[in-house]
């Protein structure tokens, strides 16, 4: 469904007029199949989030192509309704002037259904992520981190896109809430037949949710491995990463 081929990305280092470039991603190529759950793991600064932004079409690669069902993600029409996202910083991912209902309705504005039908849908979605309808009229600051992240997930599911990109979506939640959200993601995955691109530095939660993991190291793919083969990783870096897990 998603084909990434030979992607390079650099940022300018220093001022606007600086010639020096910093390589963020180098020669990234992989395939993502529909309905699959692919974990992208790596240390901070390894380029995980940049890769995420490229996959969403928010930024353009310097070289290489990213095709979403055969169309380039750089075109707006190419990615509409096919990929959506949930980000780490839940405090800034919902417009503070919007109620929960407005926030979830926003991505539906382009869909032809009437307002009533859309409202029904919001109610259904909220129930599915474990919030009751009293949350409709609440503002983001009235909710806890876990609740906002649930609203963000409901909003991402609302467009019925087959793939959701989660960029450190559970990293700023605490242990037990992390587990609740992970369980929710698993449930939604089965009931909507969703696929995830799960970007994280937490190998344990990736192991819990994903079918396959891609290990990034300073902008390059170190290894792509089936989760069942995790204990047999080949590269020394991946082995080191697993050894350093604090369980």
Site for other proteins in 154-183 (CB under 8 A): 174-180, 182
Q: What is the DSSP string of 127-147?
A: HHTT--GGGTT--GGGS-HHH
Residue linked to tokens 């032809």:
112
The verdict on 228 binding other proteins (CB under 8 A) reads yes
Q: Does 1 bind other proteins (CB under 8 A)?
A: no
Kindly state the DSSP code that residue 22 receives in the 8-state scheme. E
Site for other proteins in 54-83 (CB under 8 A): none
Cα separation, 71 vs 80, whole angstroms: 11
Using the rule CB under 8 A, which residue among 12, 81, 234, 245 binds other proteins?
245
Task: With contacts defined by CB under 8 A, name the span among 11-19, 97-105, 130-138, 225-233 that binds other proteins.
Answer: 225-233
Q: What share of the chain is helix, strand, coil (3-state, %, to 5)?
A: 40, 25, 35
CA atoms within 13 A on the CB side of 78: 16
Q: Segment 21-50, which members bind other proteins (CB under 8 A)? A: 42-45
The tokens describing 177, both together, are: 């809430």
Q: Which stretch binds other proteins (CB under 8 A): 2-10, 60-68, 133-141, 234-242?
A: 234-242
Residues that bind other proteins (CB under 8 A): 42-45, 144-145, 174-180, 182, 201-205, 207-208, 227-228, 230-231, 240-247
């Amino acid at each position: 469904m998603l084909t990434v081929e030979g992607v390079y990305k650099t940022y300018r280092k220093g001022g606007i007029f600086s010639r020096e470039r910093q390589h963020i991603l180098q020669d990234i190529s992989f395939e993502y199949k529909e309905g699959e759950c692919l974990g992208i793991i790596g240390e901070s600064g390894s380029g995980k989030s940049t890769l995420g932004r490229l996959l969403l079409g928010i930024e353009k690669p310097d070289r290489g192509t990213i095709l979403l069902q055969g169309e380039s993600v750089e075109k707006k029409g190419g990615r509409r309704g096919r990929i959506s996202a949930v980000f780490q910083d839940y405090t800034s991912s919902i417009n503070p002037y919007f109620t929960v209902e407005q926030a979830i309705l926003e991505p539906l504005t382009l869909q032809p259904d009437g307002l009533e039908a859309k409202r029904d849908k919001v109610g259904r979605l909220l129930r599915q992520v474990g919030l009751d309808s009293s949350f409709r009229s609440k503002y983001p600051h009235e909710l806890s981190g876990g609740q906002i992240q649930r609203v963000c997930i409901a909003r991402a599911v609302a467009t019925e896109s087959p793939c959701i990109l989660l960029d450190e979506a559970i990293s700023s939640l605490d242990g037990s809430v992390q587990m609740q959200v992970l369980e929710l993601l698993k449930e939604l995955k089965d009931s909507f037949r969703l696929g995830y691109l799960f970007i994280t530095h937490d190998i344990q939660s990736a192991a819990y949710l994903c079918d396959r993991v891609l290990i990034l190291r300073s902008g390059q793919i170190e290894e792509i491995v089936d989760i069942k083969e995790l204990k047999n990783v080949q590269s020394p870096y991946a082995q080191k990463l697993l050894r350093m897990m604090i369980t």
